[in-house]
């Protein structure tokens, strides 16, 4: 608590010294001054500074000129990985809807035929938030548990390195890349695995760029790819590999963009990849689906 020094005595016949008043509250006496502008400030207007106190306006002005902390590869620094946790929540809510609403899975699953013949493009992304329903027993619950565990394990770290906006772009574009591969070469499917494999690819690229030993990530990818191919009768290898390649390419653009024009290069890469994926669907038919007839 700041104490006020006593007013010095005045000589007989001289007027008393003027008592300083807070510049924001003229009715309040104060003997404390802002360390920057030296205006008198009352306790309500004081803000702790490195030395002494500052007034509200000086603190506000200092915040405007202070550079915002950055993530390693651009964007604002991330303390709480809100995007990763939000994606987990969306997947869980979608799974609940699949469980309690009949026909929900069929309406939003990725069906190459419905995309090609019916123009239902939304399925390319909605399917990435769905999983095998509980009606499929152990396979259903295992599917979402593995994907959400992987997202929880590596998502926050990637979000801190890339920044929230870039991480969200990585996840969604990887999901789209996996869906495009399924559209071309697969059948009806659901799952966040394309996006998750995109995160695997991004984790490898980021590890290499930062000089970390990537062998652990390589083994993670190799084991999961092997499982994908071994269980190809129940797992969409197209979605997994499509997401892996897309995520790796986009992460390379994020990690190796030149510092001078980093933002421009990174977001241009996002646009180029998205346009390329869209054109692939526009120009090419779903080969596996058409060959099945």
Whether the CB-CB separation of 201 and 194 falls below 8 Å is answered with no
Of the candidates 53, 114, 131, 240, the residue annotated as catalytic is 240
Q: Is 233 one of the catalytic residues?
A: no
Kindly name the residue from 164, 193, 207, 236 that is annotated as catalytic. Answer: 193
Residue 30 DSSP class:
-
3-state SS class at 66: coil
- The Cα–Cα gap between 43 and 46 comes to 5
CA–CA dist 284, 197 (Å, integer): 24
Are 160 and 229 spatial neighbours (Cβ–Cβ below 8 Å)? no
Q: Is 143 a catalytic residue?
A: no
Helix (H, G, I), strand (E, B) or coil at 33: strand
Beta carbons within 10 angstroms of residue 245's beta carbon: 17
- Sequence-ordered list of residues with C-beta below 8 angstroms from that of 27, at least 6 positions apart, any chain: 21
d(C-alpha 282, C-alpha 119), whole Å: 10
Q: Catalytic amino acids?
A: 193, 240
């Amino acid at each position: 608590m700041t104490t006020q020094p006593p007013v010095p005595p005045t000589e007989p016949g001289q007027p008393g010294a003027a008592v300083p008043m807070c510049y924001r509250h003229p009715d309040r006496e104060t003997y404390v001054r802002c360390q920057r502008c030296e205006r008198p400030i009352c306790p309500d207007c004081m803000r702790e500074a490195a030395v002494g106190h500052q007034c509200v306006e000086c603190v506000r002005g200092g915040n405007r000129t202070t550079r915002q902390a950055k993530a390693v590869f651009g964007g604002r620094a991330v303390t709480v990985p809100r995007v990763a946790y939000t994606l987990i929540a969306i997947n869980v809510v979608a799974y609940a809807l699949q469980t309690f609403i009949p026909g929900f899975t069929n309406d939003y699953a990725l069906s190459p035929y419905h995309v090609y013949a019916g123009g239902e493009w939304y399925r390319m992304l909605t399917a990435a938030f769905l999983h095998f329903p509980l009606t499929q027993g152990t396979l259903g619950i295992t599917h979402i548990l593995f994907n959400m565990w992987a997202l929880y394990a590596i998502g926050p770290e990637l979000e801190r390195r890339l920044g929230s906006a870039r991480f969200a772009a990585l996840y969604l574009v990887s999901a789209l890349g996996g869906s495009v591969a399924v559209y071309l070469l697969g059948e009806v499917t659901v799952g966040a695995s394309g996006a998750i494999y995109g995160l695997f690819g991004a984790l490898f690229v980021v590890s290499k760029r930062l000089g970390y030993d990537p062998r652990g990530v390589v083994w993670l990818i190799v084991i999961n790819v092997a499982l994908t191919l071994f269980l190809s009768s129940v797992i969409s290898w197209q979605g997994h590999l499509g997401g892996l390649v897309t995520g790796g390419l986009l992460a390379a653009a994020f990690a190796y963009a030149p510092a001078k024009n980093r933002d421009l290069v990174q977001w241009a890469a996002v646009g180029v990849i998205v346009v390329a994926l869209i054109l692939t669907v526009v120009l090419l038919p779903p080969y596996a689906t058409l060959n099945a007839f």
